[in-house]
């Protein structure tokens, strides 16, 4: 039974969804203090939060059982993602569920600031009729600069085009081809600021984007431009923005997010007459609140079950497409890693991975993480997963290389790996039959097709008559049943490699007798 703690308001639909999982026990504890959370978190497998709960390094250190932190929303500012990664905790968000709400909020703020709607509303309520004081600017024919072109940025672009706006985009990770296909113009940040009548922020908050817009940025903007921020408050310097608004450099701003929330009296934007303020309402629609809650609940349970890690922000690889299509290759890589660790005489120090084929060529980083997980699984004193495997490997001095080779003639998608330790090495290669069934197809120079499952006796022997009978008889005499025996050899009369699936673990006495068979040169049992 998985225990999940919900520490922020999630919504009735999401809580109902939690109750529908037969393998989940959920506790809802809203308003926990830091000490309270730290005290109870060791009892839980997963934690679901919004923006209120601060998931600090101390909390994560205390959460020995914790495997997943789910954020109902996009931003993970309140979660120490680095500490979570070090502890092998998956951090997930819901980037798509509230994108539409945030995009619509951006357009609403743009219209409100451009047409002075809040100011006109307040004036009329005060008994005034000052039409001439609130002459605005229309969107049609204007240039909109979008900083950050993820889901929200794209939705804003589509809707701004309907208003007849020209679109400029700054996003360092967007390719020119993608921009052309979407009918947008990709430009440098300085050019966007200089040419845009409206500028809207939709970038993620990371160290590189903190105060992305500052005094120098505002000085480069077009005179009379309008700024909208419905992303993150710390993307801009609020004091510099206030000065640009006071001086008339910028005509107006619309702000839904703040560097500190709620904003205090020290916030320089509060009280400025040409600023439209809302209290972080970007995702606050009934539909978005419902959807992010249901989505994060589903994601967290899937992650606990190991069936899906889509939208995990700290995976060391990207998930493109359906995770179910990726998972078999991750498991194949993990199996190869376990086999490497089990066959090596000493701790593995280096893994050289080479993949062949169009499918695995797109999964090289994922395969690397899976293989490291397998290598470390049996020898680590902490739980190893895809999240922390690269970190733990680095701490142990294990290095990796990952390359893409020319398509293999024998198999459409092949994963080859060479483990190196103390001057010795071993080559393993594996494939998926039918897209899901793992097979070991090479051990060193020996070709075979073996099922890597359960207990496996890997044996090197002289290719002479009677060896198979001797080994089989010995195992049978000790009550060890053989499930399947696969053998590969380079040439008749040389050495051969056997991959023997066993139903039970041979005892020490059995293994000693096996080693005493003259034709057997090496034998080891590995649990896969």
Map residue 114 onto helix, strand or coil.
helix
Regarding beta strands 495-502 and 482-489, do their DSSP bridges make them parallel or antiparallel, or are they unpaired? antiparallel
Which entry of 220, 280, 365, 489 is annotated as an active-site residue? 280
Map residue 334 onto helix, strand or coil.
helix
Active site residue 280: yes
In 3D, which of 394, 346, 347 has the Cα closest to residue 368? 394
Which entry of 232, 426, 439, 486 is annotated as an active-site residue? 232
Composition of the chain by helix, strand, coil, percent to 5: 35, 25, 40
**Which residues, in sequence order, are CB contacts of 82 under 8 Å at separation 6+?**
none
Residue 325 tokens, joined: 């299509």
Active site residue 50: no
Q: Which helix (H) or strand (E) holds 500?
A: strand 495-502
In 3D, which of 319, 256, 284 has the Cα closest to residue 9? 284
Active site residue 478: no
Cα–Cα distances in Å, from 113 out to 158, 254, 257?
20, 6, 15
Q: Read out DSSP for 360-417?
A: HHT-HHHHHHHHHHHHHTTT-SS---TTTHHHHHHHTT-EEEEEEEPPPSS-SSEEEE
End-to-end alpha-carbon separation of the chain, Å? 25
Which entry of 39, 188, 261, 518 is annotated as an active-site residue? 261
Runs of H (alpha helix) within 87-208: 99-114, 117-125, 151-162, 176-182, 189-195
Q: Is 508 exposed, middle or buried (0-12, 13-18, 19+ CB in 10 A)?
A: exposed
Active site residues: 232, 261, 280
């Amino acid at each position: 039974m998985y225990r999940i703690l919900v520490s922020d308001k999630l919504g009735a639909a999401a809580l109902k969804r939690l109750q529908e999982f037969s393998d989940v026990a959920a506790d809802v504890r809203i308003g926990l203090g830091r000490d309270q959370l730290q005290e109870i978190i060791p009892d839980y497998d997963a934690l679901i939060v919004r923006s209120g709960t601060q998931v600090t390094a101390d909390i994560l250190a205390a959460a020995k059982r914790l495997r997943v932190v789910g954020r109902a929303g996009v931003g993970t500012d309140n979660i120490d993602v680095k500490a979570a990664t070090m502890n092998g905790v998956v951090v997930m968000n819901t980037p798509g569920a509230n994108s539409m709400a945030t995009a619509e909020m951006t357009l609403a703020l743009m219209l409100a600031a451009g047409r002075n709607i809040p100011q006109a509303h307040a004036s009329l309520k005060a008994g005034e009729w000052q039409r001439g004081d609130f002459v605005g600017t229309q969107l049609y024919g204007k240039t909109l600069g979008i900083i950050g072109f993820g889901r929200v940025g794209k939705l804003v672009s589509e809707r701004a085009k309907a208003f007849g706006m020209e679109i400029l985009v700054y996003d360092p990770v967007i390719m020119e081809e993608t921009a052309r296909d979407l009918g947008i113009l990709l430009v440098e940040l300085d050019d966007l600021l200089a040419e845009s009548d409206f500028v809207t922020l939709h970038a993620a908050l990371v160290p590189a984007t903190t105060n992305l817009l500052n005094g120098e940025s505002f000085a480069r903007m077009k005179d009379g431009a309008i700024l909208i921020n419905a992303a993150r408050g710390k993307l801009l310097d609020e004091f510099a923005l206030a000065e640009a608004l006071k001086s008339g450099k910028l005509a107006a701003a619309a702000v839904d997010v703040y560097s500190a929330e709620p904003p205090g009296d020290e916030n320089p934007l509060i009280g400025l007459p040409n600023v439209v303020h809302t209290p972080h309402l970007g995702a606050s629609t009934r539909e978005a609140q419902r959807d992010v809650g249901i989505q994060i609940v589903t994601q967290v349970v899937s992650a606990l079950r190991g069936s899906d890690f889509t939208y995990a922000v700290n995976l060391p690889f990207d998930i493109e497409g359906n995770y179910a299509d990726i998972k078999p290759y991750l498991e194949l890589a993990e199996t190869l890693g376990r086999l490497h660790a089990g066959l090596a005489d000493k701790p593995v120090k280096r893994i050289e991975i080479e993949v062949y084929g169009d499918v695995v060529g797109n999964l090289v980083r994922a395969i690397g993480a899976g293989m490291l997980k397998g290598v470390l699984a049996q020898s680590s004193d902490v739980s190893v997963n895809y999240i922390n495997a690269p970190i733990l490997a680095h701490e142990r001095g294990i290095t990796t290389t990952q390359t893409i080779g020319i398509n293999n003639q024998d198999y459409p998608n092949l994963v080859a790996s060479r483990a190196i330790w103390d001057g010795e090495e071993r080559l393993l290669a594996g494939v998926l039959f039918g897209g899901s069934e793992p097979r070991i197809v090479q051990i060193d120079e020996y070709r075979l097709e073996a099922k890597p499952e359960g207990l496996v006796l890997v044996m090197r022997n002289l290719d002479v008559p009677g060896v198979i009978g001797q080994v089989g008889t010995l195992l049978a005499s000790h009550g060890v049943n053989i499930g399947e025996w696969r053998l590969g050899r380079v040439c008749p009369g040389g050495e051969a490699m056997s991959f023997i699936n066993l139903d039970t673990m041979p005892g020490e006495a059995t293994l000693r007798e096996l080693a005493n068979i003259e034709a057997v040169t090496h034998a080891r049992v590995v649990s896969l």
